[in-house]
Chain A
Amino acid sequence: MSLPAEVRRDTRAGRARDRIAETASLAAAVGLTWIVFAWIAPFDGPIGFVVLGYVLFLALYATLVSLDERGPAVRDRLAAVAIRGLAYLVVGTLVGIVGYTIWSGLRSLLHLNFFTQDLAVTQQLDPLSVGGILHAVVGTLEQIAMALAVVLPLGVVCAVFLTETRGAFTRFVRTVVEAMTALPSIVAGLFVYASLILTVGVPSSGFAASMAISVMMLPIIIRAADVVLRVVPGSLREASLALGASSWRTTWHVVLPTARSGLATAVILGTARGLGETSPVLITAGFTTNLALNPFDGPQVSLPLVTFNLIRSPYEGMVTRGYGAAAVLMVVVVVLFVIGRLVGRTRKGK
């Protein structure tokens, strides 16, 4: 009496057979879509191609898999490739947007004068070897620095207030902060325009722009810092208090050091958000092609604003400069972002 030899079942998620089926259906889908586009052609453009190709791919893959699987297994495989396809679509689009911007701006980035000159004397048809975006870089730096000088102390201390105290007042402040994150950035800009510029009489300037950015960034930073502080383990706080430390010492020596990298990440990511804001700056900063070092006196542009203006120009050279400014902005945001992530990662390593 001998038992039939047991065959070990393959439970791995990705099997060679599936990969072959995937590759085959992908190739078939691309081919079919191409045929439809080349001969039947009811619509055109890469978006139509991707949409039709994706649908065809799913259909072909389902057919292939159903040859050697049944009901639930087919649905499982189909769901897996559909979900993966959606994820790749999102990533592909993101890479496309970032790549398109940097690629289009590359021509202006190759000229060193792009970073050392402003656009004051640049004519519409001047070549790219004349004029640059120094004024916008300076404006961005000054405006974000001023906004951070306001937001950083106010935001972090307010977040500490929200996590370290209890009571009706705390709850009320938390609710209001939460509400203010819903404030559209253009409305923040309109508020500063109507209050500081029209009522108080501050000129359209870098200062007004930085105030608009502050109004917009404050709730974002508070929320992010609040989240980071709240995940500091309660046992750490209690241990410190049990040792007889005052709540001031507990916060300063236990809570804040524990959350330091998380707070840094929150602030850096908030800064990246603030840097890219165009609409509040559009309303409050005015527009100039000159380098303006003093943010309190007269218009001062920033990178997103100069991008926005140059892109709408009918002249090709100006549009290329606009792409260049967008590429610089994108690179700054990506660099800030990577720094933020690296700072955040050290926390996990501990």
Chain B
Amino acid sequence: MTASTQVRPTAPDVAEQRRELALPGGADRVFRLVLRSMGAVVLAIMAVVGLFLAVRAGLALRKAGGDFLTTEAWEPDDENFGVAAVLIGTVLIALVAISLAVPLATGMALYISEYATGWRKRLLVTLVDLMAAVPSVVYGLWGVNFLQPHVVGLSRWLATYGSWIPLLEVDGYDPGDPLSPQTVFTSSTFIAGIVVALMVTPIISSIMREVFSQAPVGEREGAYALGGTRWGMIRTVVLPFGRGGMIGGTMLGLGRAMGETIAIYMIISPVFVIQPHILENGASSISSLIALKYGAAGKVGISALMAAGLTLFVVTLAVNFGASMIIARSRSGAQSEV
């Protein structure tokens, strides 16, 4: 530890000097210039996107002020708009998705890294990656036309036996009435959450698989040598070692779940009030708000949508940075350069 801190200050200077000597001037200097300018171009593009969003959102944010975060309605032309309903809707859908996706992804990752071998392992890795590449419109149409009719029964059961939990309550549903309409259960947060869960499962799973497979061999062998079963080894070595990656992967999935648009837009019927009943018809999310309202929006409307988009961006950004920090910390020291 002390040796490395003593060496570090002098090492770069020496390398720098030698590189100067090796530089013939011409080609390398041009090369570096090209690289740097490309980096600058990419930086400029991203800065333009960010600044443009911020500047255009400014108009709406100035008009709405602090009410932007507390207003539920979305009527920009009457200057009555805010992200309270849509932001909570987004978070609810993402939470439903995450609570379903995490067990699935953990099971998948553990099976791939600890149980499957040979061609089965390779096939599963490929399938998980493929699952991440399936277009969201395909997930959406599957959700609307296949899943929705079949999941209504489950929603009904949950509403009948779980209505003492406030989240699972459904207005306008009477468990005692066998003829009560099924339509109160369609287009809900719950259904959108299931579809989004399937979309983020591969993302979470591939990160978990990576950290699970990095669990040190010595500790694994040690657990076996002490007479542990395979599950005992997983519970005492693989899971504790991979905890950082599991949390980080989950947060990354959360970020993706919040940014998802088309599948959610196809499933939910948008409402602009806070809808805490996840099984009930009507839900909302920021991204589907944008997809719904951009066409008819005037100057203030576009600016308001920009502000909503910026809010979403800031939230996913915070979640993603948290995730990558946790993942990076969990991996420190696990890799060494050959």
Interface set of A (CB-CB < 8 Å, partner B): 13, 42-48, 51, 72-73, 75-76, 78-80, 82-87, 89-91, 93-94, 96-98, 100-101, 104, 154-155, 157-158, 160-162, 164-165, 169-170, 172-173, 176-188, 190-191, 193-195, 198, 215, 218-219, 222, 233-235, 241, 244, 246-249, 251, 269, 272-273, 275-279, 282-283, 304, 307-308, 311-312, 322-323, 326, 329-330, 333-334, 337, 341
Contact = CB atoms under 8 A, between A and B. Distances in A.
B39 A161 contact: yes
Interface string B163-201: 000000000000000000000000000000000001001
A308 B266 contact: yes
A75 B231 contact: yes
B111 to A, nearest CB: 4
A275 B133 CA distance: 10
Contacts of B152: 45
Contacts of A323: 141
22 contacts: A43-B156, A45-B150, A45-B153, A47-B151, A87-B108, A87-B112, A98-B138, A154-B42, A162-B39, A165-B39, A179-B321, A182-B319, A184-B309, A191-B309, A246-B22, A246-B28, A247-B31, A248-B27, A276-B137, A278-B261, A308-B266, A326-B135
Nearest to A329: B135
Contact of A97 (B35, B104, B138, B153): B138
B38 interface: yes
Contact of B259 (A73, A82, A87, A182): A182
Contacts of B266: 308, 311-312
Given A246-B24, A246-B27, A333-B135, A183 B115 contact: no
A-B pairs with lowest CB-CB distance, top 8: A86-B107, A276-B135, A184-B259, A43-B157, A76-B229, A45-B153, A87-B111, A248-B31
A248 B28 contact: yes
Contacts of B201: 90
B213 interface: no
Interface in B59-73: none
- Chain A at the B interface: SS class: helix
Contact of A184 (B105, B111, B198, B261): B261
B39 A173 contact: yes
B78 interface: no
Given A187-B309, A190-B306, A157 B34 contact: yes
Nearest to B146: A100
B296 interface: no
Contacts of B150: 45-47
Contacts of B217: none
Contact of B124 (A44, A45, A91): A91
Contacts of B131: 90, 94
Contacts of A191: 49, 52-53, 309
B258 interface: yes
Given A101-B138, A278-B135, A278-B136, 20 more contacts: A73-B229, A76-B229, A85-B107, A89-B104, A90-B128, A97-B134, A97-B198, A98-B134, A176-B46, A178-B321, A182-B321, A185-B259, A187-B290, A190-B309, A191-B52, A246-B31, A322-B141, A323-B141, A329-B135, A330-B138
Contacts of A13: 230
Interface of B: 19, 22-24, 27-28, 30-32, 34-36, 38-39, 41-43, 45-47, 49, 52-53, 56, 103-108, 110-112, 114-116, 124, 126-131, 133-142, 144-147, 149-154, 156-157, 160, 198, 201, 205, 228-232, 234, 255, 258-262, 265-266, 287, 290-291, 294, 302, 305-306, 309-310, 312-313, 316-317, 319-321, 324, 337-338
A233 B337 contact: yes
B38 A333 contact: no
Contacts of A97: 134, 138-139, 142, 198
A72 B229 contact: yes
A47 B155 CA distance: 10
Nearest to B34: A157
Contact of B262 (A90, A164, A279): A279
Contacts of B36: 161, 165, 169
Contact of A79 (B43, B133, B234): B234
A244 B22 contact: yes
Contact of A234 (B34, B47, B111, B338): B338
A222 B146 CA distance: 36
A219 B150 CA distance: 38
A178 B138 CA distance: 27
A87 B108 CA distance: 4
A307 B258 CA distance: 23
Given A161-B35, A194-B56, A337-B129, A215 B338 contact: no
A176 B49 contact: no
B126 A79 contact: no
Contacts of B229: 72-73, 75-76
A143 B205 CA distance: 31
A186 B115 contact: no
Nearest to B103: A86
A187 B38 contact: no
Contacts of B24: 246
Nearest to A158: B42
A86 B261 contact: no
Contacts of B338: 233-235
Contact of B261 (A46, A157, A185, A334): A185
Contact of A177 (B46, B53, B156, B317): B46
A44 B153 CA distance: 5
B141 A101 contact: yes
A232 to B, nearest CB: 10
B200 to A, nearest CB: 12
Given A183-B313, A251-B31, A279 B261 contact: yes
A45 B154 contact: yes
A285 B271 CA distance: 26
A273 B133 contact: yes
A31 to B, nearest CB: 20
